[in-house]
Amino acid sequence: MGNLTDKFPAASSSNILEVLTGTCDGRSVTVDSGTYTFGDVTAYQNLSTSYADITGSSIAYTPPTGAKHVSYEFNFMFDCVAYSGISNFKLMVDNTEVNPAYKNFASNYNSSYHHGNFPCSVFYVFDLTAASDDAANGKFSSWASNKTIKVQGREHGNGYEGAVHYMIYGSTVGTATYVQPNLTITAYS
């Protein structure tokens, strides 16, 4: 019987330049491009019908030299506070919405409360090889200084209430608690 490496040889190199990842608990993480401090999420966040920054999602990031793509991934808990909890989420870069990254989360329509509680993710890969900047489509000709990336969210309408970083059916049933989100940025050559 042969070795797995005979059929699947190990890669001789990687196109990953750096991975910046952590729980949004106020920690600082140092990677090749610098030291970054994550937001400190200490409570769940109720959504309203107006867009607001999602706590823990914001980071000012500069990729290392030679980066051609940057992925942003924000993982958080979502709770349908009332009915289906229809909620909208958009990714922003320097206060411009990245249209292809738009998300909508909801559960089945139910008059009971908190019956939809699940992990969600906002993920997008920025292209740094474009001929010109097009922030609305996540394309840039260069990225040599900090750009602030964040997620904004809202409830779709009154009655369809949602919350983030929220869990009610944990180890102590019926006791609401917050769950800190995670953020990962990866720079690729």
Query: CB count, 10 Å around CB of 87?
Result: 24
Report the pLDDT value the prediction gives residue 170, as an integer from 0 to 100. Answer: 64
Query: Cβ-count burial of 68 within 10 angstroms (0-12 exposed, 13-18 middle, 19+ buried)?
Result: middle
9 band by pLDDT with thresholds 50, 70 and 90: low
3 band by pLDDT with thresholds 50, 70 and 90: low
The residue to which tokens 């070795």 are assigned? 3
Q: Is the pLDDT of residue 30 over 60?
A: yes
Query: What kind of fold does domain 14-188 have according to CATH?
Result: Jelly Rolls (2.60.120)
Report the pLDDT value the prediction gives residue 159, as an integer from 0 to 100. Answer: 76
- How many angstroms separate the Cα of 127 from the Cα of each of 1, 31, 141, 166, 189? 43, 21, 8, 33, 11
What average pLDDT does the chain have?
A: 87
Average pLDDT over every residue of 14-43 = 96
| Per-residue buried b or exposed e for 120-146, using 16+ beta carbons within 10 Å of the residue's own CB | bebebebebeeeeeebeebbbeebeee
Q: Is the pLDDT of residue 23 over 90?
A: yes
Q: Is the pLDDT of residue 38 over 90?
A: yes
Question: Residue 165 carries which DSSP code?
Answer: S
* Separation of alpha carbons 107 and 176, rounded Å: 18
* Domain parsing of the chain, residue ranges: 14-188
- 3 vs 168, more confident: 168
- 51 vs 108, more confident: 51
Report the pLDDT value the prediction gives residue 114, as an integer from 0 to 100. Answer: 57
pLDDT (tens digit per residue) in 96-134 = 999 999 988 777 666 556 566 767 899 999 999 999 999
* Separation of alpha carbons 11 and 15, rounded Å: 10
Average pLDDT over every residue of 50-60 = 97
Lowest mean pLDDT among 1-10, 61-70, 134-143, 163-172: 1-10
- 115 vs 58, more confident: 58
Report the pLDDT value the prediction gives residue 120, as an integer from 0 to 100. Answer: 87
